[in-house]
Structures are given as C-alpha cells and as structure tokens.
Amino acid sequence: MNNLAPAEIAVTLQYISTLATLEVAVPKTSENLDTESAAAWTHNADEMRDRMNLFDNWRRRLCGFLGVPPGPALAQAGVSLVV
C-alpha cells in the first residue's frame, strides 16, 4: 500500500468503506432468523448466504484491484482441496 498513487488510495478506501458496511450487515441477519412471515413481509431465508456472498465478492474485488491473490477463505469454487 506504500506504493499506491493517491487515486489508487482513494479507490482502496472506497472498497474498505463498502466492505465495512457489508461486514456489519452480516451479523444483523441473526435478528431476523425467527421470522418467516409477518403480514405481507416474508423473510428471505437465504439472507445470510446472500450477504456473505456479496461481502466475499467485494473482498475479491479489492484483492483484484490491489493485485494480490485472494486467500483460501475466498476460494472461487466454494470447495478447497488440500493435498
């Protein structure tokens, strides 16, 4: 990060800000785990998965922008094989 241009630092900070917002939203999904339906509103049963996928996607994008490979927690296929 010491070698980034000012414009690259600005973009990196935007990624970090977005990631922070998405990361905070993931635990909040537990507040709705007990609700399947309320009046006309129906809880998205896949909300946690959807939020984690969005969060992981943004983490991959940050890695791509910085030119570093994503770590094993961001495996593309969702399955890692260790030999």
> Where exactly are the structural domains of the chain?
6-74
Grade residue 82 by pLDDT with cuts at 50, 70 and 90: very low
State residue 11's pLDDT score.
93
Average pLDDT over residues 51-78: 82
What is the predicted pLDDT for the residue at 81?
A: 40
Q: What is the signed CA dihedral for 35, 46, 72, 28, rounded to 10 degrees?
A: -30
pLDDT of residue 80: 47
Q: Rounded distance, CA 61 to CA 70, Å?
A: 9
Query: What backbone torsions phi and psi does residue 37 show, to the nearest 5 degrees?
Result: -155, 135
Choose between 82 and 43: higher pLDDT. 43
Q: Residue 68 belongs to what H/E stretch? A: none
Q: Of residues 81 and 67, which shows the higher confidence score?
A: 67
Neighbour-count burial of 15, counting CB atoms closer than 10 A to its CB (0-12 exposed, 13-18 middle, 19+ buried): middle
